[in-house]
Amino acid sequence: MKKEIAKVPKDNSMVFLIIAIFVLIIDRITKYMALQTSYVKNYGLLFGLFSSPSLKWSYIFAISLVLVFLLYVFSLKDVKKNIRLQIGLVFMIAGLLGNLIDRLIYGFVIDFINIQITVFNFADASITLGALFVLFELFKRKGKRKPKEEIIRNKRRVKK
């Protein structure tokens, strides 16, 4: 029995839009609540990486825009065939947009979930979850690839 890749139904755009809006709403609500209590101003990237004072937030803003664009372009290629890759990209793009909104409004990202090694927010968790979806699918796909020689042999058999 042949096992298929998670196929995408005809049009999931509404489902993806709902997921993105849900992530953005939860992100905004939790950041609003953090503003009322305790939070960390993050001028860096995901999980506070590269938060050196010498980096201007405008550079981070530009990097975020480029990442959103690249993720969007990446989602237009062969990703259309795999729902798990699409869901991963939706989570990543929604998280990037959530942090981008903070940068536009405040000039920094509001982080408030404090664990011993870092401080982060719901958008960071969304980006991480999306990246895990994408990495899982890419590694799974890589393991299923046939060696180049086998593909060439199969093409020759078909031509005969």
Give domain status of residue 38, yes or no: yes
pLDDT band at 53 (very low <50, low <70, confident <90, very high): low
Give domain status of residue 18, yes or no: yes
Catalytic residue among 27, 78, 102, 124: 124
Give domain status of residue 63, yes or no: yes
pLDDT tens, residue by residue, 10-49: 677 888 899 999 999 999 999 999 999 989 888 776 666 5
Give domain status of residue 144, yes or no: yes
Give domain status of residue 6, yes or no: no
Give domain status of residue 5, yes or no: no
Residue with tokens 């990209």: 89
- Name the pTM for this structure: 0.70
Known catalytic residue at 27: no
Residue 13, SS3? helix
Catalytic residue among 11, 78, 102, 111: 111
The structure tokens listed for 20 are 């993105």
Known catalytic residue at 78: no
Please name which of 138, 23, 127, 20 lies closest in space to residue 85, comparing C-alpha atoms.
138
Enclosing domain of residue 124: 13-159
Element containing residue 115 per DSSP (H, E): strand 113-115
Q: How many domains does the chain have?
A: 1
Give domain status of residue 7, yes or no: no
Give domain status of residue 128, yes or no: yes
